[in-house]
Structure 1
Amino acid sequence: MLRWIANWAVHHAVTPEKQAEKALPQLRLELYQAEQRILDAQMHADYYRARLAFCEEVIKNGIEQVADQRKDQQDTSQASRPGLKLTAAQ
C-alpha cells in the first residue's frame, strides 16, 4: 500500500513543466489584454494629437478657412473612392 501511495505521489507531483503548462493560458490572456491596452492608448493619443492640431490650425488660420479646407479634403476623398456599382441580375 505504501508503495502504491509513493508511486501515485511521484506521478502526480507538481513539476515545473506542469506548472508552466497550467500557467500558459492565463499568461496568454494577460499578454493579449496588455497589448489591447497599448493599442487603446495609441488610439487615444492619436485622437488628442488630431484635436490639438485642429485647434492650433483654427487659432492660426481661423475657423472659416479650416472648415473650407476640411470640406475640400472630404469632397476629394469621396470622389476618389470608387463607388459600388450594382448590376441587374441576368
Structure 2
Amino acid sequence: MIRWLANWASQHAPTPEKQAERALNNLRMELFQAEQLVLDAQLRADYYRARLTFLEEVTRKGIEQVSDERKAPLEPPQPLRPGLKLTAAQ
C-alpha cells in the first residue's frame, strides 16, 4: 500500500513541466480575455466617436438637414465585374 501511494505521489507530483503546462493554459486564457477587452473598448470608442460626429453635425447644420442627409438614398453598389451577373440556382 505504501509503495502504491509513493508511486501515485511521484506520478501526480507538481513537476515544473506540469506547472508550466498549467500556467501556459492560464496565460492563454488571460491573453484571450485581454484581447476581448481591447476589442470591446475599440467598439465602444467607435460608437462614441459616431455619436459625437452626429451631434456636432446637428449643432452645426440643424437636425432637419442632418435627418434629410441620412434619409437620402445611397448610391447602389457597383458590381465588381460589369459583365458578370448572379442568377438564382435552378
TM-score relative to the length of structure 1: 0.69
Residues 27/88 of structure 1: CA separation in 2 closer, same or farther (3 Å cut): closer
In structure 1, runs of 5+ residues without a counterpart are none
Structure with more helix by fraction: 1
Residue range with higher mean Cα deviation, 22-31 or 50-59: 22-31
Secondary structure, in 3 states, of the residue corresponding to 1:48? Answer: helix
Residue equivalent to 1:80: 77
Q: How large is the Cα RMSD of the aligned pairs? A: 2.8
In structure 2, runs of 5+ residues without a counterpart are 80-84
Moved over 6 A (4+): none
Residue range with higher mean Cα deviation, 13-22 or 32-41: 13-22
Residues 87/13 of structure 1: CA separation in 2 closer, same or farther (3 Å cut): closer
2:77 partner amino acid: S
* CA–CA distance in structure 2, aligned partners of residues 17 and 51 of structure 1: 51
TM-score relative to the length of structure 2: 0.69
Residue equivalent to 2:52: 52
**What is the identity percentage for the equivalent residue pairs of Structure 1 and Structure 2?**
56
